[in-house]
Structure 1
């Protein structure tokens, strides 16, 4: 799979000795001693992808009459580098939790990869959640920042999102305007517009961001159970989990360089991060439809 480690593992699996028990590694330890950055493994040029290969294909709902949009690996990694530099400008301690509460589109994927590349931990929150559900996940993860957008557009409906984040008493929010550069409501004091957030790093645009390599046991993403049977339970992904996602895609779904993978989902659910790693690590293209997959628009997108 052309996985790149900054420090290679001592072996693939170190099994526990007879009579040895380990709460953290009950069945043994995978890739002991290794250090890695899974986001870098999505972006670097190798035998599975060239910089001119297509990384993401997307279309917005109600735009069936226009060609699909595309982003190459070169364009994707430059976008990710810029956001990673802007994240560092916030002055957060490495390993801090940073939430994403957005639909799954190009910007949210870029933000996801930038958080991981820069050595922080993604907190996944589904964009359908009410304020109380957002608040509980922010409190459990101790998130320091949240990325969101002001509205979600579905057909002729405008669904508020930033207002729910505000009602959840979220920490610093970086807010992406859904329509042009205007927001549907005034931002809280201290919150940043997407434009102002990126302005902190614009002088570094195009400069490579050196990935933060961490031990395989380090957390990279905190997902959550649905919370239908009580308080949602945190489900941490380590740096090994993205490799498992990519390996399952390679082995069981035959995802290879040149393939296109679409899975209507959200970063708040495990299939969102799975799609990122399953496609990009294997050199395939990720296909994102920014809208409801229930109508003919999604079928036309897949057909294209």
Structure 2
């Protein structure tokens, strides 16, 4: 047992290093993390894992842990608050934990209808909006691997990342809406010679035209799911070190380097948010970013696993609209990482 008093962050840091069993059990209890197979311990020495093997024997699904009510919260609490650029005078939009769960389950069921082998890599190349978050969680929930691609990349950069990851499909939008402009996106994916693309209209009511033969519109993709069970999905439980996400370095100094996340990485991301940024139940967290950069997945897990809400502004964070969005005073924690602000 740890007997020294913990009265400062320095003490807490010392406690977490000297007592990893007690510290991580406390963190997992605080976040309400569930394992289908509990780990035999928190950390053990292993020649195969430099620094030790974390949570040996654990089986879980990181996305499934995002879709359940956390201690002190209910399924009717808000998971995502969002607004589209140009609609700054309209009411905010909210997605509850239960609504998010149903959306993710629908997409997971539609993914299975594509008949891809479990463990296949599936790319996402689109702005970080509600649909992107839903797709991200659905891919992980269903036992596939997300390939994160920033929506600012040109066709050659997209192509390189698809080849390295051996992605079997890609989710994208027809275009990106920024400052009353339509920036091409699907055409870049086509130029990159991407595999089957599922294409979402940037304007929800706009039909998609001119798709390649093997590509699917968002509506047709969702239509493949059995609507009688669309809101239900049994998570594919995974060994702790199974890949859940492949991110990439920027590629500015050569070929981009693949950076794999396992199902353990989200737990560390959420724990860092809890410990170092004081993200708690009921907080609202905004970080202008993209799933193609590591802070996109970090935001998903650091908010949802801690019972907080994420705030997504579907537009330029450099605009007055973003300022109005956060001025509603719903956002309790706003983080800017200037290298990740894309216009």
Normalised by the length of structure 1, the TM-score is: 0.96
Deviations 1:179-203 (A, max 9, x none): 2443565000010000000001152
Q: String of CA shifts for 1:270-292, please: whole Å, max 9, x gaps.
A: 00000000000110000000000
Alignment of 1:177-196 (within 5 A): 177-183=201-207, 185-196=209-220
Q: Of the candidates 132, 135, 141, which is equivalent to residue 165 of structure 2?
A: 141
2:289 corresponds to which of 265, 284, 290: 265
| 1:127 is the counterpart of 2:151 | yes
Q: Does 1:3 align with 2:33?
A: yes
Work out whether residues 83 and 313 of structure 2, in 8 Å CA contact, stay in contact via their aligned partners in 1: yes
- Cα deviation 1:11-64 (Å, max 9, x = unaligned): 000123xxxx33xx1111000000010001000124143110000000011111
Given that 2:266 and 2:298 are in contact with CA atoms closer than 8 Å, whether structure 1 keeps it comes out as yes
Q: 176, 196, 204: which is aligned to 2:200?
A: 176
Cα deviation code 1:64-111 (max 9, x no counterpart): 100110010010000000000000000011100000000000000000
Work out whether 1:293 is the aligned partner of 2:325: no
Question: Which residue does the alignment assign to 1:242?
Answer: 266
- Matched position secondary structure for 1:204: coil
**Alignment CA distance shift 1:194-1:205 (3 Å):** farther
Q: Say what the alpha-carbon RMSD is for the aligned residues.
A: 1.1
| CA distance 1:32–1:7, change in 2 (3 Å) | same
Q: Deviations over 1:123-178 (max 9, x none)?
A: 00000000000000000000000000001010121100000000000000000011
The aligned residue for residue 326 of structure 2 is 302
Deviation per residue, 1:230-266 (Å, 9 max, x gap) = 1000000011000000000011111111000000000
**Aligned partner of 1:14 among 15, 29, 44:** 44
Which structure exhibits the higher relative contact order, with contacts defined as CA atoms closer than 8 Å and separated by 6 or more residues?
1
2:169 touches 2:196 (CA, 8 Å); kept in 1? yes
What SS class does the counterpart of residue 165 from structure 1 fall into?
helix
How far, CA to CA, are the matches of 1:48 and 1:240 in structure 2?
24
1:224 aligns with 2:248: yes
Higher Rg of the two aligned structures = 2
1:209 match: secondary structure: coil
Aligned to 1:280: 304
Separation in structure 1 between the aligned mates of residue 138 and residue 159 of structure 2, nearest angstrom: 23
> CA shift at 1:206, angstroms?
5.0
Q: Counterparts of 1:247 and 1:48 in 2: how far apart (Å)?
A: 18
Counterpart of 2:90? 66
Contact 1:56 1:70 in 2 (8 A): yes
Q: Which runs of 5+ in 2 are unaligned?
A: 1-30, 329-343
For the pair 1:210 / 2:210, whether they are aligned, the reply is no
Q: More displaced, 175-184 or 292-301?
A: 175-184
Distance 1:227 1:78 in 2: 37
Q: How many residues align?
A: 298
Separation of aligned partners in 2, 1:39 and 1:5: 12
Q: Name the counterpart of 2:225.
A: 201
Asked if the contact 2:249/2:259 (under 8 Å) is kept, the reply is yes
Contact 1:2 1:48 in 2 (8 A): no
Task: Report if aligned partners of 2:199, 2:208 keep a CA contact under 8 Å in 1.
Answer: no
* Residue of 169, 177, 180 corresponding to 1:153: 177
In the superposition, the TM-score normalised over structure 2's length comes to 0.85
Classify 1:167/1:48 alpha carbon distance in 2 versus 1 (closer, same or farther; 3 Å): farther
Preserved contact between residue 48 and residue 282 of structure 1 (Cα < 8 Å): no
Q: CA deviation at 1:297?
A: 0.9
How much does 1:204 deviate? 3.5
